[in-house]
Amino acid sequence: MDFETMVGQLVQWKARHLSAHVPRFCFDAPELGAWVRYVRKQHKDGALEQWKVERLNSLQFEWELPDQEARWHHLYHQLRRYRLLHGNGRLLRNASGSSSGSSQGDCAAIGRWLSKQGRLLAKRKLGGQKVAMLQLLQALVLLMLHVLVHS
């Protein structure tokens, strides 16, 4: 994998998703996710050339991600995948397994996560970048409706 080619993909990813974090097993960018993991390991082992570190730092590359933050991004991209397959996020609570690739467990986890984001939004505890990312999916409308219905 050519470094500059992958950096170009990362730049495009960041422009689309407002974050330089690429989940390890992202459904629509598996090669980029694998490359990000490889680069992080090289950096951790001290084997990444300094110019590459500086190039990635200029993109606000996330060298380490706490588990909770990694989980947030994983579920965000699972919601993104669900929306691509099903067209909306309102069916998450009642979704059953289907041949489209979303299992009932995945749907339930995404539904719980989306509900939690709604509660955090209502308490004004959801960070600006996360709000912007959810706006990209038009998920904020769903969160606001959830908060209104469950208040």
Span 66-119, pLDDT tens digits: 999 999 999 999 988 888 887 765 544 444 344 344 566 678 888 889 889 989
Entry pTM? 0.75
Cα dist from 71 to 38, 50, 56, 129, whole Å = 19, 29, 22, 15
By residue count, the chain amounts to 151
Q: Is 93 helix (H, G, I), strand (E, B) or coil?
A: coil
What is the Cα–Cα distance from 17 to 132, expressed in whole angstroms?
Answer: 9
- Please give the structure tokens belonging to residue 86: 């099903």
| Residue 56 CB neighbours (<10 A) | 21
Q: Which carries the bigger pLDDT value, residue 83 or residue 14? A: 14
